[in-house]
C-alpha cells in the first residue's frame, strides 16, 4: 500500500510538472511569434531557416511573420520526399512555415493538417498559409493525443517539437497510429546522449527550451 501511495505521488508530481511545462512551452513559443525581433538562446527566423538549408525561394514566398517566427532545429523537408496529392501532418505547426512548404509541395490535390498545443498559433498558421493562396487545417491539441483518426495521413513532419514532451514513447505511438500503412515520418528534433540531470528535468524553462 505504501508503494502504491508513493507511485501515485510520483504520478501526481509528474502530472503537475507536465502542466507547468505545457504553460511554459506555450509562453515561450508565443513570445517567438509575437516578438520575433527578440533574441533567444536558439537561432530562429530567417537566419535559422537559411542555416538549415531552406530554399531561399520558399522563404521569399512565405509571409514575413511565418519566416520570422520559425523556431525549428533542422529541415524536415530535406528527406520528406512529399508528392502531389499526399496527406501530411505537421506536428507542432507553430506559425506555419513548415506546413505551408508542405502545402506547396503536395499541391491542391493534397492536404496538410497542423497540430499545435496553442490555439492562437493555429489561427496564426492558418492565416499565414492562406496568405500564400493555399490552405492548411490546424487542430489544437497535445502531441500525446493527436486529434486525428487512425491511418489518416501519408507523412508526418515535425521540427523540434517531440523533445518537449515528457512522454515521448506515447508521442511516437501516436505518430504510428495516425500514419497509413506504408506511410513515413521525416522529423528533426533534439536528442541527448546522456540522461539530463534532475535539475534540468524539473525546470520548465530549461525543458521548454
Partner 1 sequence: MFRLLEETGFTRVRSAVVPRFRFRKESTQDAAEAYGVKAVMMTGLKPLT
The residue from 11, 51, 120, 123 that contacts partner 1 (CB under 8 A) is 51
CA dist 111 to 58, 99, 105, 115, 161, Å?
18, 10, 10, 13, 21
Residue 182 found at the interface with partner 1 (CB under 8 A)? yes
Contact between 55 and partner 1 (CB under 8 A)? no
Give the shortest CB-71-to-partner 1 separation in angstroms: 12
Three cell numbers, residue 197: 540531470
Cβ neighbourhood burial of 48 (10 Å; 0-12, 13-18, 19+): buried
Tell me: does residue 186 bind partner 1 (CB under 8 A): yes
x-marked contacts with partner 1 along 132-161 as a string, rule CB under 8 A: ----------------------------x-
Min separation Cβ 158 and partner 1, Å: 9
Q: Which residues pair with 88 in a beta bridge?
A: 112, 155
CA 135, 25, 113 angle in degrees (round to 5)?
Answer: 20
Burial 31-40 (b: 16+ CB within 10 A, else e): ebbeebeeee
- Give the nearest distance from C-beta 72 to partner 1 in angstroms: 9
3 lies in the binding site for partner 1 (CB under 8 A)? no
Which residues from 58-117 bind partner 1, rule CB under 8 A? 73-76, 78-79
Query: Where along the sequence are the contacts to partner 1 (CB under 8 A)?
Result: 39-43, 51-53, 73-76, 78-79, 160, 162, 168-169, 172-173, 175-176, 179-194, 196, 209
Amino acid at each position: 500500500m505504501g508503494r502504491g501511495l508513493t507511485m501515485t505521488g510520483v504520478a501526481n508530481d509528474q502530472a503537475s510538472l507536465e502542466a507547468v511545462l505545457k504553460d511554459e512551452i506555450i509562453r515561450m513559443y508565443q513570445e517567438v511569434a509575437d516578438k520575433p525581433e527578440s533574441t533567444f538562446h536558439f537561432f530562429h527566423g530567417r537566419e535559422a531557416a537559411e542555416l538549415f538549408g531552406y530554399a531561399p525561394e520558399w522563404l521569399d514566398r512565405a509571409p514575413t511573420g511565418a519566416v520570422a517566427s520559425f523556431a525549428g532545429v533542422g529541415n524536415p523537408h530535406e528527406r520528406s520526399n512529399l508528392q502531389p496529392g499526399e496527406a501530411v501532418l505537421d506536428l507542432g505547426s507553430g506559425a506555419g512555415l513548415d506546413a505551408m512548404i508542405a502545402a506547396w509541395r503536395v499541391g491542391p490535390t493534397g492536404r496538410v493538417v497542423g497540430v499545435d498545443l496553442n490555439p492562437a498559433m493555429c489561427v496564426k498558421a492558418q492565416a499565414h498559409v492562406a496568405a500564400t493562396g493555399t490552405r492548411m487545417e490546424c487542430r489544437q491539441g497535445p502531441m500525446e493525443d493527436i486529434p486525428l483518426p487512425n491511418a489518416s495521413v501519408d507523412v508526418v513532419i515535425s521540427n523540434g517539437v517531440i523533445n518537449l514532451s515528457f512522454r515521448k514513447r506515447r508521442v511516437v505511438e501516436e505518430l504510428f497510429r495516425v500514419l497509413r500503412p506504408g506511410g513515413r515520418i521525416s522529423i528533426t528534433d533534439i536528442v541527448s546522449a546522456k540522461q539530463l540531470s534532475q535539475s534540468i528535468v524539473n525546470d520548465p524553462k530549461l525543458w521548454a527550451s
